[in-house]
Structure 1
Amino acid sequence: MFKVIMGYKAKKITSAIACFLLVSTGSTSALAQQFDDAASVQFGGFEVIPTVDIGVKFDDNVSQLASDEISSWSRIVSPQVSMISSLGASQVDFGYRIKNEDFFSSKEDNYTDHFLTAGADVELSARHRVNARLDFEDGHDARGSGFSIGNGDLINEPDQYKQTQLDFLYSYGAFNSQGRIDVNFNVRTLDYDVSTPEYLVRDRRISRIGGTYYHRIGATTDLTFDIIRETVSYKTPAVSTNPLDSRNMSYLVGLSWEATANTSGFAKVGYQEKRFDSALRDDFDGFDWAAGVRWEPVEYASVEIRTSADTNETNGEGNFIRGRTHTAVWRHEWLDRVRSRAAVVWNNNRYEGQLIDGLSIRSDDNLGFRASVYYQFRRWINFEVGYRFDERDSNRNEIDFDRNQFIFNALVTL
């Protein structure tokens, strides 16, 4: 997704760091601060790249409350190390990251997260490719998020969990062939640390197997067909006679294209069905879609627009969440050492089924805005000044909130 402006070796290092940061944080801030020329240390057959993220943040609504908000400054320290070994077109990588945030005025929100990742990208031949990745996260849901939406003040620490994900992708067919296929297997387990009944019902396992067929219909255009099967299993049902276990099937058809050197994109639309094991829960049938376009009018600027619809597991109300998300991202390199990134994300989450106390179906509109400016002061240090805004507007007035955050950050490498 980033323009290649470096040699092959530096490209490999940058790609590995970016992948690790994306997997372990989901943070647009960290991802945008990747280095074009991070230095490495040789260790056996591996290149070792250590970095550390150090910053301060001001948050005017730490626990995402509708009233009686808590504001606080915090300190963030996040060291990490990536190890990459390349053999021709194949690559193996390992990474570890720890992230600690201490809030000066809200100690209940302090946390320390750990992330481990390992991956292999192997090109067996021009027609056979394998990509495998294992990720482990010892993470948390911040107070006021996840299962504590609207009730962040009722718990005295973040909800901590362990999450493991295994992803395996096999690709058959040369990139320039008339047809090729990807087969993907993914399994993800989520296990909250607390063992009370309220927490045990959150633990689950999601297994997914799917395939995508690409059929070339133009020099830079492929017709795509997707079939995905997903099985959701909860370890402990809240009610033994009415579990949330389900089976999902998705069928999509679409296009992926690179119309010019400056424009690329994809669009898929299809049908999804969700079947619950319990006859007491209503099944779902509906449309799914995913589309995105990237436009790079000049070498130093790009715009991305994405939209999607999908079903997600509930976090406390309803049978499942029907989500629709729309995103716009603008990146700009103003000078050799100065770049910026701005993003707007809007989504609607509709909590389908299982109405409580005669209330209407819950519907949340969520708005997020992110903007950061990055300055590469030296080859080995990047500075960031950023602003974030979040807002939730729900038909449950007690969970409405808005929040402003200001970030000052430095990413340091060798």
Structure 2
Amino acid sequence: MKSRKLVVAVGTSLATFCLFAGAQSGPVSPSYKIPDTGKPVDKEGPRPIPLMDGVSLTPYFNLSFGRDDNLFLTNTNKKASNTQVYNPGARLDIKGAASQFGLGYDLKAGKFSSSSADDYTDYKLDAFGEFVPSSSMGLKLFGDYIGGHDPRGSTDRGIAGTPDEFRSTSVNALFAYGANDAKGRIEVEAGTLDKRYQNNRATTLASDRNTDSIGGRFFFKVAPKTSLILEARQAKLDYKLSTSLQDSTETRYLAGVTWDATAATSGTVKVGQLKKDFKVASRKDFSGTGWEANISWKPLSYSKFDFYTTKSVNESTGLGDFTLAKKYGAAWTHAWDPRLTSIVSLSRNDDEFVGNVRNDNTDAYGLKLNYKLMRWLSVGGEYNFTTRDSNVSGFNYKKNLYMITFGATL
């Protein structure tokens, strides 16, 4: 009932705002196009199999081999292992005159030669439906069901005998009013996420939770390809353990600009207030500056630079009340010829464990090469180096990951 009241309250506030004003993984909520045309079709990439008029199926299969020299992200007694990942999947698309639907399934099965206890089978089933009654109105419904895991060492729950496995279900809706080229435009969205852990219940029981979210943003066009943004988002986190102290409400009020002004540059930058209010007084609330930004620069048709930064709050997995996280990153994607593409990436995460003395700085560097042997077959190589420097020395680590991937489709 409280969640429904929140939806009504925020929806009413946005409607009132629009009367006076003149409608995620990266982190910035993009403008929803009516209709959503999706990514451009790669003529040299996978070819969907036509099943009937407006219906197509796109299957794929990836096979990866590699080596991880620090499986549990530890500072001492490191565990190294060779690994294989099998990744089959398929996507079904249905397109009509005023609607379109999609259904996808992706499975990842990982095997570790030196640590079979860490073998995993993750999967994701996702679906969406889009309805476009007019050029100025669109509704998109989407959701997924995920079976996943937290690798041992990736949380602060302590290292159990096997990875922590979870199941999550999410349902979301996004309504847009205002044509893509209109002076003013509104988007309203709402969603719910249910996450439950399946094993290691002595340490994972406290992490089961529901998250209900609501948000809206108003776009005001100031140039043909540039708009100002006002945005409000709120998420209510309800932990299922009756004695939990983690129940909270997160709120963001952001203002900024989004642009696609030239063929070379596009981006979105938003800055504003970030709040986290706990239900119990014993937890420390937070109110401060938050931001979300990503910028793409494409100086050449075959070369692109992407930059991003965010400041957000993350849920605790055992230490502190929550984590105040600042992220910075960049990637350079370059097509050396029609067959060979490279990606060079770097990132920095600064994590402050509020309610605990711990602070972490994590740097990551990556290099990826992909070569198209044929239209339907590719081979890629990847190297990633990650290092974490913490003021609590037991949490320092360095990790090298090497992977070779073969990808096939029709």
**Which TM-score band applies after superposition, normalised by the shorter structure?**
0.7 to 0.9
CA contact (8 A) 1:14 1:35 kept: no
Pairwise CA RMSD? 2.0
Rounded to whole Å, the distance in 2 between the matches of 1:186 and 1:369 is 34
Structure 2 CA distance, aligned partners of 1:35 and 1:82?
17
1:148-203 Cα distance to aligned partner (Å, 9 max, x none): 4xx44xx2211100111222111000111110000011211211102734221110
In 1, Cα distance between equivalents of 2:61 and 2:297:
32
Contact 2:98–2:133 at 8 Å: present in 1 too? Answer: no
The SS at the match of 1:350 is strand
1:255 aligns with 2:257: yes
1:110 aligns with 2:106: no
Q: Distance in 2 between matches of 1:75 and 1:365?
A: 29
Cα shift at 1:15: 6.3
Cα displacement string for residues 334-386 of structure 1 (whole angstroms, at most 9, x for unaligned residues): 00111111211111111112x4xxxxx21111111221110000011011011
Choose the corresponding residue for 2:175, options 170, 182, 204.
Answer: 170
- State which of 289, 296, 316 in structure 1 corresponds to 2:291: 289
Residue 275 of structure 1 and its aligned partner are, at CA, apart by 1.2
- Write the letter of the residue equivalent to 1:38: P
Q: Which residue does the alignment assign to 2:282? A: 280
The 3 A distance-change label for structure 1 pair 389 and 88 is farther
Tell me if 1:76 matches 2:85. yes
Please give the alpha-carbon distance, in whole angstroms, between the structure 1 residues aligned to 2:139 and 2:362. Answer: 37
Which AA in structure 2 matches 1:92?
F
Note the 1:156-235 alignment, pairs <5 A: 156-194=161-199, 196-235=201-240
Is 1:390 equivalent to 2:395 in the alignment? no
Q: For each residue in 1:204-243, what CA deviation from the matched residue of structure 2 results, as whole angstroms up to 9, or x when unmatched?
A: 1111100000001112211100011210100005xx2x62
- Amino acid of the structure 1 residue aligned with 2:249: R
Match of 1:367 among 327, 347, 363: 363
Q: Which residue number corresponds to residue 47 of structure 2?
A: 39
Q: Which residue of 1 aligns with 2:333?
A: 331
Cα–Cα, structure 1 residues 334 and 289, in superposed 2: closer, same or farther, change >3 Å?
Answer: same
Contact 1:14 1:37 in 2 (8 A): no
Q: Runs of 4+ in structure 1 displaced over 4 angstroms?
A: 11-16
Amino acid at match of 2:277: R
SS in 1 for 2:47: coil
* Paired residues of 1:312 and 1:323 also in contact (CA < 8 A): yes
1:56 equivalent in structure 2? 65
Tell me by how many angstroms 1:145 deviates: 0.4
Deviation string, structure 1 residues 282-329 (Cα, Å, up to 9, x no partner): 211111111221100010000011111011111111111100000101
How far, CA to CA, are the matches of 1:371 and 1:288 in structure 2?
30
List alignment gaps of at least 5 residues for structure 2: 1-24, 26-35
Partner deviation per Cα, 1:263-297 (whole Å, 9 max, x = no partner): 11111110122111101112111111112211000
Over 3 Å counting, the alpha-carbon distance change for 1:97 and 1:369 in structure 2 is: same
Equivalent position amino acid for 2:143 in 1: L
In the other structure, the counterpart of 2:22 is none
Contact 1:13 1:38 in 2 (8 A): no
- Report the 3-state secondary structure (helix = DSSP H, G, I; strand = E; otherwise coil) of the residue aligned with 1:404: strand
The change in CA–CA distance for 1:250 and 1:14 in structure 2 (over 3 A counts) is closer
Distance 1:195 1:369 in 2: 32
- Residue 72 of structure 2: SS of its match in structure 1? coil
CA distance in 2 between partners of 1:14 and 1:225 (Å): 26
Offset at residue 12 of structure 1 (A) = 7.0
Tell whether the 8 Å contact from 2:156 to 2:319 is kept in structure 1 after alignment. no
Q: Measured at CA, do residues 146 and 124 of structure 1 come closer, stay the same or move farther in structure 2, by a change above 3 Å? A: farther
Conservation of the 8 A alpha-carbon contact between 2:335 and 2:342: yes
Measured at CA, do residues 108 and 327 of structure 1 come closer, stay the same or move farther in structure 2, by a change above 3 Å? same
Matching residue of 1:7:
none
Task: State the one-letter code of the partner of 2:365.
Answer: F
Preserved CA contact (<8 Å) 1:228 1:251: yes
Deviations 1:71-118 (A, max 9, x none): 111111111011011124642110111111111111121111111110
Structure 1: runs of 5 or more not aligned: 2-10, 17-33, 356-360
Deviation at 1:396, TM superposition (A): 1.5
The answer on whether the counterparts of 1:234 and 1:244 sit within 8 Å (CA) in structure 2 is yes
Q: SS of the counterpart of 1:260?
A: coil
Alignment partners' CA distance in 2, 1:101 and 1:235: 30
Q: 1:285 to 1:13 in 2, by over 3 A?
A: closer
1:144 alignment partner in structure 2: 153
Q: Distance in 2 between matches of 1:13 and 1:57?
A: 32
**Structure 1 counterpart of 2:94, one-letter code:** S
In 2: Cα distance, 1:63 partner to 1:234 partner: 27
2:119 is the counterpart of 1:119: no
2:238 maps to amino acid: S
TM-score between both structures, scaled by the size of structure 2: 0.87
Count of residue correspondences: 375
Take 2:256 and 2:371, find their aligned partners in 1: how far apart are those partners? 39
Give distance in 1, aligned partners of 2:130 and 2:329: 29
**Partners of 1:82 and 1:15 in 2: CA distance:** 16
Secondary structure of the corresponding residue to residue 207 of structure 2: coil
Question: How far 1:60 moved relative to its partner?
Answer: 0.7
- Given the two structures, how large is their TM-score scaled by the length of structure 1? 0.86
| Paired position in structure 2 for 1:408 | 404
Amino acid at match of 1:403: K
Rounded to whole Å, the distance in 2 between the matches of 1:14 and 1:333 is 18
